[in-house]
Structures are given as C-alpha cells and as structure tokens.
Structure 1
Amino acid sequence: MTEALATLSRAYRMRVYPTRDQARLLAQLVGASRHVWNWSLAKRTSAYRERGERLNWVSLSREFTEYRRDPERPWLATLPREPFNQVLRDQERAFANFFAKRAAYPRFERRGGRASMRFTFDQRRQQVRDTGGRWATVDLPSLGSLKLRRTEALNGRLRSITLSRDSAGRWHGAITADGISRPAIHVPELDAVGLDAGLRDLLVIADGHGTRRVPAPKALASKQARLRRYQRQQSRQIAAQMRAQGLDPTKPCPKGVRLGSSNRRRKTQQQIGRLHAQVADLRRDALHQASAAVVREAQVIGIEDLAVKAMSRGMGRKAFRRSVADAALGELRRQLTYKAGWRGRTLVAVNRFYPSSKTCGACGAIHAALKLKERRWACPACGTEHDRDENAARNLRTEALRLIAASSPATPRSGESDARGEAAAAVGRTGPAGLSTSANREPTVAGSGAKADRRQRQSRPRKTRTDRVAVGSG
C-alpha cells in the first residue's frame, strides 16, 4: 500500500482565545487583507481591459512589495507579509476556477464581509505546541503566541492555520495537516443503508430491516422569532440614522455613504450575530452526529445527488428556500464524503433524476402522477401503501447496491478498471473497497458517472423544472 493510501489529510478546528492586543491586530489584518484583495483584483481587471494582459500572483507579489513600502501606507508595512501572500494565492485560485467555468468572476470584498486569514507554518521550526492538556498554542508573526482550546491530539505534519471570526465575534483556527495515519477499519453492523435527506427529518434511514428517522434540528426556525425582532429593531435604528444624516430612509443608502453607528445599534448587531452563531453551532453539531453514526454502522451508503442550489432557488416560496438552507443538505453530503473515505466505506450518489419517491418499493412500478405534497400514497399497480420518505430511502439503498453490482466486474462498456469494481464485494465484508486513491475525493462507482447519467436522461421523457425540484426533494 502506497503512502498516499496509508495516510490522509484533514483539518483540526479549534476555538482561539486572543488577548486584547492580539484581537486588535487580527482586526487590522482582516481589513488589510480585504484591501490587498481589492487592490490586486483592480490591477488584474484593469491590466486585462487596457492591455489584454493576464497577471498572475507572482507578478502581483513583486508589485505588492513596492506598494507595501509606499510612505503613504505605513500601516501596511507594519503588518506581517504572510497573510497577504495567501490572499494573492487565493485570488489566483479564484481566477483559475473562473477560467475553468467552475465559478463566477471574482468580486470586490465589502466592509463587514468575511473575516479570515491564513498563515503557513515553517517546517524548520516548531510553531504549534501541543502539550496534551486542555490548551495548545501557536506562534505566528507579529501576533506572538495564540492560545487554542485543544479538542483532540494534533497528529500529522501541520501545514497551515486559517483564522476566522464568526458573526458572534469569536475567533476559530483551522489547522490543516497531512500524513495522518488512517483510523482502524472496523466491521460495520450493516451491509448497506439508504439515506433520504429532507426538510422535516434530517435523515430517513433504510437499513434493509426497517426504517428510522433522525429529526432535523431546525436551528433557524427555533431562533426565527427573536431574529425577526432584532432585525426590525435594527431597521428602525438605520432609518433614524439616515434621517439624522439628511437621507431619505424609504430609499436605499447612496453608494459611498457610510452611516454612523450608535452604541445601541452596535449592541443590536451583536445580538443578531450571536443568534446566527448559535444557529450555526446547533446545525453543525446535529450534522456531525448524524453523519458519524451512519458512516460508523454501514459499509455502503446510498444518497441522492440533490441539486441543493436549485432547491434553494426553486418553488418561489421564501419559507421553502429558508427550510432548504436550514437543513444544510450540502454540508451533510460533504461530511458523509470525507468520513466515508476515512473509514473505508463506499458512498454512492444516486442520480438526482432517479424517481426514488415515485417508485414502488414492492413491485417497481413508477407512480408518475405523485405530487410533492402527498406524503403517503398507494401503488396503483399492486396497492401497497407507502410513506414517501421511507419508500425513497429503501429505493436509494436498492439502487446503490445495483450501481455497485453493475460496476463489477469491469466491462469494456463501462470503461472502468476492476479496482473500482471491487466495491461490489464490499457488501457484507470490510475493507476500503470502491474507494478512490485520494483521501479527500468522494468514492465513486462506474454506474453513477457522467455516462450513466446521460443514458438515464436519454431513456426518460424530459422533465419540467417543477418536476425536477419535486424529484430532488425526495
């Protein structure tokens, strides 16, 4: 087994407790990083429009060296250089994604936006000290020794730390590491499960013996009343400030005009930020517990390849879009992906156009007239009564096993090697079957690839946008 297969990469996320001076310096670095991003983006845009030249981060780094030495910006020269280098690298990656048509054109950052910065570690010296107790420390340029709330042992080769500030004003550090030994692969209790992720229930799990439900935390809904009260209060405070500055509060604030802020308005903003941070904490905790339990108990995991962005824009109802965001279905998929890779499980993403909810789990007939609001239905062919979500979970489990079986052994038509075909034998046995060679890449099977998606779309009648959202909702 190669070293890449024997080890993995991951990140350790911990709470950071800066001193008052360190917090002040971190706030300065946030503003300076935003300034460097906007400066480099303006340079790239103007160079291409005026001369047709595409600047890279190396040329911008040389130019930034002179820009930083300008006497008119002494505050920029006193700050550490490393976070600004990472800003230029991040922008280089953003433009690479844009040219590859994976993302939109990078935008200028506004005041009050994201607050994060990254430092890389010098591998010639020890910057992170983990004594095994409650606290750990990290030494960073100009900041000195930052105190971290240690949650687990920091194993592997530590590469970098990303410091970020949430809406409640709390600082967190994500330390990336590689060369970490893979955890021991234990025999799972179940051969396969099907997961139907939804809005009312976080997960409906079908394990071949029955179904069970994991209730959704509905973190945003539980805080919605208080959040609305604070937001209405903030709107009144902003309107009062606009009238005090001679502006019309019924119209948007003119571009370039900065409104003053009172102590009460700052307090209201802090209350709103704390509520959003509580919502994020509740949601993250529920997702981690649910995903870890599923990966621990099953070898094959079948889940629907939902179009989460399309669902959040669809249906034309604000309450529905808010529920999609509150369920965090994309984050659930991400956690299942990397945790399955850690434990040697096989995650199968079933095509989003597969009618998991409309297919009868007893006879296989498709109830094409089933509507989204119908939570229970009877099969018109055999008369079997179904719960919509439980039936979808059972069908996803069956379809995941079928896709794995179809991908092994390898055939000339599949175009895949037998290394991935080993996933077919993963049912009922242990081992990292069906996994790709990258620890951070989602395990795939041949039957769920792009060719299989095109074949399925060609064999079915074209669906309308409403039908696609209904099928994606399970």
Structure 2
Amino acid sequence: VIVKKDTIGDWSITITTDAEGLEPAPKTGETAGFDFGLKDFLTCSDGTKYQSPEFYKSASILIKRASRALSRKQKGSNNRERARKDLARVYRKINRQREDHHWKLALELVRKFDTCFFEDLNLDGMKRLWGRKVSDYAFGDFMLKIKWQAQKRGKRVETIDRWTPTSKVCHACGQGHKFFDLNIRDWYCHHCLIQHDRDINAAINIHKVGASTFGGEDVRLASASIPC
C-alpha cells in the first residue's frame, strides 16, 4: 500500500495485489508505421492522422490568471497558499486530460495493429527547436503508454533509428531529396512524379524500415493512396 499527498493536499492510496494480466488483444494481421509531428500529433502509414488537443495552450488563460493571483499574495499568508493550490489544480487538470487522451489513443492503436513502428525521438533537441508545443504533446509519455499497452496485450512496439531519412526519401521509388523546410507539407518526387504528403510519406518509410528490420514473413506492408 502506497499513500501519497499531492501538491494540492489531496491524498491518494495505491494498493498492489496479485491479479491476472490483461487479456491479450485479438491479432489483426495489421502493422503500421507512425510519424510524430507538430501539425498533426501522429500520422499513420495508412493515411490516418491523429490529433491531440494542446491542453496547456487551451488552459493558458487560466494559468496566467492563477499565476497573477499568486504573485499578488503576501508570502507566507493563507491567501497565498490558497492561490498556490488554485494554480496547482490547473496544472493537475492539464496533466490528467493529457494522460487520459494518451491512454485512450494507445489502446486504440494496440487493438488495431499487431506491430507499431515509430522513429526514435530526440526529445531534448525537439524541445530546443519547437519549445512548449513539444512539451504539451508529450511524445515521450505517449511512447511509454503505448509500449505498456502493447506488452500487456501481446502486441509489439518497435523503434527505428532516428537518423533514418524518412521524410526526404520517396517511399515509392526510394529517391532521396534535398532537405526542405518544415513549412513544406506536400512535395513532388521529380524522379517518379508522385505527390507526397510529407508526414504520410515519412510514416510509410518508418513502416517499411521497421518491417524489414524487426518484421517477418507475416508482416503486411500497406501504404496510403497518394495521388500523382
């Protein structure tokens, strides 16, 4: 039994017992690659795009209001302690909303796919480049949850090397292209003349690399339908 008191003063009790594991999810025969992004939280190699609410951004007004109220209170006073708890409640709500969204999406993907392939993320570098939004999306926290779900339900989550040029290589012909700005979301392959959605192309390449590295004969590759 673990008893904890949070920053607001609320108590919680965690009880650990011996119990049967989660029932394995039925096999679907499907595998997929996934690309994390800032425009869309997650893009699947089958063309599906999964959004994630920016919980911190949505609550920014409440955070500023609670922070201002806290700064105006006299240090050591009861009013300041109440203001501190009000601010802590806002942050706790944000964390709980994000956690709930991550768990539900992780379970959805694990039920749909037998193996999910992701790119290994340089989270520190992403935070330096794109700041608060990366923290709001919490890619690393989501990865921990989907790995846990996969392990408990008899599925797999694998990661490919972060240096694999998934965005700059045409998934159809394998032709490499020069680096292009993140603002460019669609591009043409001048070699095979296929138009690509940047994120879907990356997800398909992640799928292909992951399947060839970790998969077997039972891995079924499926790419999105992208118009020329």
Q: Does TM, scored on the shorter chain, surpass 0.5?
A: yes
- Unmatched 5+ residue regions in structure 2? 221-228
CA contact (8 A) 2:32 2:115 kept: yes
What residue is the counterpart of 2:36 in the other structure? 197
Deviation at 1:404, TM superposition (A): 2.1
Would you say 1:166 and 2:2 are equivalent positions? no
What residue is the counterpart of 1:345 in the other structure? 155
Alpha-carbon displacement from aligned partner over 1:343-372 (angstroms, at most 9, x marks no partner): 221211011111111121221112222222
- Unmatched 5+ residue regions in structure 1? 1-160, 242-259, 406-423, 429-474
- Greater RCO between the two (CA within 8 Å, min separation 6)? 2
Deviation at 1:426, TM superposition (A): 4.7
CA contact (8 A) 1:340 1:346 kept: yes
- Secondary structure, counterpart of 1:180 in structure 2: coil
CA contact (8 A) 1:195 1:303 kept: yes
Structure 1 or 2, whichever has the larger Rg, is 1
Alpha-carbon distance between aligned partners in 1 of 2:181 and 2:195, rounded to the nearest angstrom: 15
Q: TM-score w.r.t. structure 2 length?
A: 0.87
Deviation at 1:297, TM superposition (A): 1.0
Would you say 1:285 and 2:100 are equivalent positions? yes
2:56 to 211, 214, 220: 220
1:389 to 176, 196, 199: 199
What residue is the counterpart of 1:27 in the other structure? none
% identical equivalent positions: 29
What residue is the counterpart of 1:311 in the other structure? 126
CA contact (8 A) 2:117 2:157 kept: yes
What residue is the counterpart of 1:359 in the other structure? 169
Deviation at 1:165, TM superposition (A): 3.3
Alpha-carbon distance between aligned partners in 2 of 1:232 and 1:165, rounded to the nearest angstrom: 25
How many matched pairs?
220
CA contact (8 A) 1:217 1:282 kept: no
What residue is the counterpart of 2:27 in the other structure? 187
CA gap of 1:304–1:385, structure 2 versus 1, over 3 A, is same
Name the stretch that deviates more: 274-283 or 358-367: 358-367
Alpha-carbon distance between aligned partners in 2 of 1:176 and 1:359, rounded to the nearest angstrom: 48
What residue is the counterpart of 2:89 in the other structure? 274
What residue is the counterpart of 1:145 in the other structure? none
CA gap of 1:362–1:273, structure 2 versus 1, over 3 A, is same
CA gap of 1:205–1:170, structure 2 versus 1, over 3 A, is farther
- Secondary structure, counterpart of 1:267 in structure 2: helix
CA contact (8 A) 1:195 1:204 kept: yes
What residue is the counterpart of 1:374 in the other structure? 184
Deviation at 1:185, TM superposition (A): 4.3
- Secondary structure, counterpart of 2:42 in structure 1: strand
1:334 to 144, 148, 151: 144
Alpha-carbon distance between aligned partners in 2 of 1:367 and 1:301, rounded to the nearest angstrom: 26
Alpha-carbon distance between aligned partners in 1 of 2:117 and 2:44, rounded to the nearest angstrom: 10
Alpha-carbon displacement from aligned partner over 1:415-441 (angstroms, at most 9, x marks no partner): xxxxxxxxx24536xxxxxxxxxxxxx
Deviation at 1:382, TM superposition (A): 2.4
